[in-house]
Amino acid sequence: MNLFKKSVYIFFILSTFLVAEARVVAAISSMKGNVQLRNANNRKYESAYKGQMVRTGDWLKTDKNVYVAIVFLDGSNVKIQSNTEIEIKSSRITAKELKTQMYIAEGQAWSKVAQQKNGEFKIKTPTAVASVKGTEFDVEFDDLAESTTLTVLEGSVEFSNDLGSILAGAMEGATASKEEVPSQYKVSEEELPK
């Protein structure tokens, strides 16, 4: 093999490795209990630690009385409640904006999303999608009831599934399942997530 072919081969191998390396999108800012993290290319969960970097494609899992908070590169905060399993996917659009999509397989996550012009922040569950541009809200998926509940604290959230879409504003909630169009209702101070 001549020198040129060897150089091209080495460049190809190195660039493939670098592209395969998942990018850091967030960090664990606080936690209580044994939080579990699974990399995108791994099937086994391992114990996470405060300050650990979260990469796109990683899964976080909490058990009973276990909580974790993560901060994204754009300043958005997500608090993952106990008994939750969630996948984090995000990519950079600009220096301060991300296109973030999280998938809640089960459980609950509270989010305070940084204001963005071109960015995107979505939380998906098996029964609904919540899309925001900058607001504070909570999404909970109950896997037994196969239902998703949204609570908006400030701002507005587009909440949709295959059957329809609504826009929920501050102090409003909504629910959705696979068989039902999302329904909207008012939320009192006492009903807000703690």
Q: What are phi and psi of 145, to 5 degrees?
A: -85, -10
pLDDT tens for residues 130-147?
Answer: 998 678 999 999 999 999
More confident residue, 117 or 40: 40
- Per-chain mean pLDDT for the chain: 86
Query: What is the gyration radius of the CA atoms in the chain, in angstroms?
Result: 19
Residue 103: predicted pLDDT = 96
Consecutive H or E run containing 15: helix 3-20
Query: Tell me, what DSSP letter sits at residue 107?
Result: E
More confident residue, 117 or 66: 66
Residue 17: predicted pLDDT = 39
| Distances, alpha carbon 132 to alpha carbons 53, 99, 100, 122, in Å | 24, 11, 10, 6
Nearest Cα to Cα of residue 15 among 7, 27, 25: 7
Q: Name the pLDDT band for 19 (thresholds 50, 70, 90).
A: very low
Contacts of 138 (CB under 8 A, 6+ apart): 108, 109, 110, 111, 150, 151, 153, 193
Residue 10: predicted pLDDT = 43
pLDDT tens for residues 47-86?
Answer: 999 999 999 999 999 999 999 999 998 889 999 999 999 9
Contacts of 168 (CB under 8 A, 6+ apart): 150, 152, 156, 157, 159, 174, 184
The C-alpha atoms of residue 175 and residue 149 are separated, in whole angstroms, by 4
DSSP labels for 155-176?
A: SEEEEEETTEEEEEETTEEEEE
